[in-house]
Structure 1
Amino acid sequence: MIVVTTPTGSIGHQTLARVIDAGAPVRVIARDPSRLAPEVRERAEVVKGSSDDPGAVSEACVGADAVLWVLPPDPRAASLHGHVIDFTRPLCDAIAAHGVQRVVGVSSLGRGTARNAGQISAVFAMDHLIESTGVHYRSLAMPGFMENVLRQLEPITRQGVFYGQVAGDRKGPACATRDIAATAARLLLDDTWTGQEEVPLPGPEDLSPDDMAAVMAEVLGRPVAYRRVPAEGLRADLVGRGVSPAWAQGLVAMGDAVEAGIYGTGEYASRSASPTTFRQWCQDVLRPAAEAAA
């Protein structure tokens, strides 16, 4: 039995589809089962609840061989550390209680070098907590998701701009969630791996925000420019939109860490596991989204 958390999320739903297509028995934890696709409700066992609900996580892990663990964001969290503990402790308890053999976690690049990196540091705390159980673990290590661009679909399509905290010429990696899901599904379906390791998924190339703007402009057929937002301005804007001060500060600290080069550039043994280029992603995902918004 394979358990998939966040089954309606960007990574979760794509991983779930691959596991179902492979014919494996699968169980999901869903706060609102009505949001699941009909084919998922037909082919997967559904445990109603949240990933931070000890009862729901325990129920989902009974007889489970492998778990996909995705730590959901909570922009209103009063504490990043508290958010990590609240969501991860029930999984650790369920691993011990039910003998779960393997966990695949969605983490980040930069482990071992991150210091005060906001949400990136928080997800490494998740890794450590899961590893402390002794479970066989694969930490999927990636940079920012290409899908994060979709959060700025309106300014991109209406104003021809997208915003960020790093310098416009700061090159770095980015990864498509479909590549993350493909690796996650492969690991969940494989019952032979053991130990605890990091699996880097840096994407195939390093691009700066200015590079990404140029690609978006070419694919969308309209001008797109990047504008850098000062850290203090970003923090104030986030808090003004209801984000907790702790979460806003974490995002600013994460941006500072990315600017400082926490992800590295081009220093990976292989990029073949995350082959989707930003141009291909823009053609396959961004352009249809922009056309639908128009």
Structure 2
Amino acid sequence: MQIAVTTPTGNVGRHLVATLVRAGVRPRVLLRDPGRLTPELRGEVDAVPVDQLDAHAVVAATHDVDALYWVDPSTGGADPLADYARATGSVVRAVTDNRIGRVVFQSSVGAEKRHGAGEIDGLGHTETALDDLGVDVTHLRCGYFFTNLELQLDALRAGALQVILPLDQPMAWVAPRDIAEVAATRLLSLAWSGRCVQAVHGPADLTWRQVAEILTAATGRRIGVEQITDDAMRTRLQQAGLPNGLVEAVLGMSTGLRENFVPEQPRTLRTTTPTTLAAWAYDHLRPRIADA
């Protein structure tokens, strides 16, 4: 089986590629700059330079591929939903032209809404486009990545996280490494077919208050959290240099899941993965905060 993996140096992709290599697979990895691969990995994969927004290039890069792990790339552009639509066009062309029979798509909790969840709406669009192709497809509806906390290192060092979700609203938190393990089992298994939705919820639903307590214990620094207004967060993102379209798309990922949202997939044995936030924070976040 020839397996292709997009975003192989990302938070999920780097673990997925390593898992496939350990399983005896030589994956084809698609990325803009193959030079970003670690030296020890370069001899274990077939690297193809490709821009995922270039449909022609993606079709060429996935020739003779049997199974594809697809991630819509985040571009940081002013119109992220338009970028997601272009990425969707690329994967649809590749699957159709190359007759790729199996796809595992990295989606998100909230994509089931289809509309009203900001940047997540782009993932919902990709889901429906892949469904329409009639191939075997699994959508991984992933929870909130632990690694998103690495984008807030300065706030963590200062001991003050600011969010726009209610502090007592629980949500799924998950380690990207666990997502990679689920993705690998789906790519390698022939026991499923048709359209599947596989949620990846991590070990527990956590509120932001619980997250602050966990991070305090894991890092040895007192970390608090406060809810701020949407406008205050909007101003912060604008001051950070994000274009307005991206600001609204980022905000929408929280505001769209804030009112009466219940994930389509409940927490079960199938959706629960093992790595705890406490263990991840101790291993990965504590050293980075201490480096300051």
User: What is the TM-score of this pair, normalised by structure 1?
Assistant: 0.93
Q: Distance in 1 between matches of 2:173 and 2:156?
A: 18
In structure 2, relative to structure 1, the CA distance for the partners of 1:41 and 1:275 (3 Å cut) is same
Q: Distance in 2 between matches of 1:266 and 1:28?
A: 30
Deviation track 1:35-92 (CA, whole Å, cap 9, x = no partner) reads 1111221111111121112233112211111111111212223251x11111121111
1:177-192 matches, within 5 Å, as 177-192=176-191
Q: How much has 1:218 moved relative to structure 2?
A: 0.9
- Partner amino acid for 1:227? E
Structure 2 equivalent of residue 237 of structure 1: 236
In structure 2, relative to structure 1, the CA distance for the partners of 1:171 and 1:128 (3 Å cut) is same
Structure 2 equivalent of residue 277 of structure 1: 276
1:132-281 matches, within 5 Å, as 132-157=132-157, 159-264=158-263, 267-270=266-269, 273-281=272-280
In structure 2, relative to structure 1, the CA distance for the partners of 1:209 and 1:286 (3 Å cut) is same
Task: State the 4+ residue runs in structure 1 displaced beyond 3 angstroms.
Answer: 110-115, 263-267
Q: Distance in 2 between matches of 1:115 and 1:86?
A: 18
Conserved 8 A contact 1:102-1:135: yes
Deviation track 1:9-56 (CA, whole Å, cap 9, x = no partner) reads 111111111011111121011111111111221111111121112233
User: What is the TM-score of this pair, normalised by structure 2?
Assistant: 0.93
Conserved 8 A contact 2:204-2:272: no
- In structure 1, the gaps of 5 or more residues are none
Structure 2 equivalent of residue 101 of structure 1: 101
Farther off after superposition, 223-232 or 268-277:
268-277
Deviation track 1:256-283 (CA, whole Å, cap 9, x = no partner) reads 1232253549942336641212112212
Q: Distance in 2 between matches of 1:188 and 1:244?
A: 36
Structure 1 equivalent of residue 17 of structure 2: 16
Farther off after superposition, 98-107 or 110-119:
110-119
SS of the residue 1:72 aligns to: coil
Structure 2 equivalent of residue 68 of structure 1: 69
1:58 aligns with 2:53: no
SS of the residue 2:4 aligns to: strand
Structure 2 equivalent of residue 123 of structure 1: 123
Tell me how many residue pairs correspond in the alignment: 291
In structure 2, relative to structure 1, the CA distance for the partners of 1:60 and 1:278 (3 Å cut) is same
Conserved 8 A contact 2:199-2:265: no
SS of the residue 1:10 aligns to: coil
- Partner amino acid for 1:22? A
CA RMSD, 1 decimal:
1.9
- In structure 2, the gaps of 5 or more residues are none
Percent pairwise identity: 29
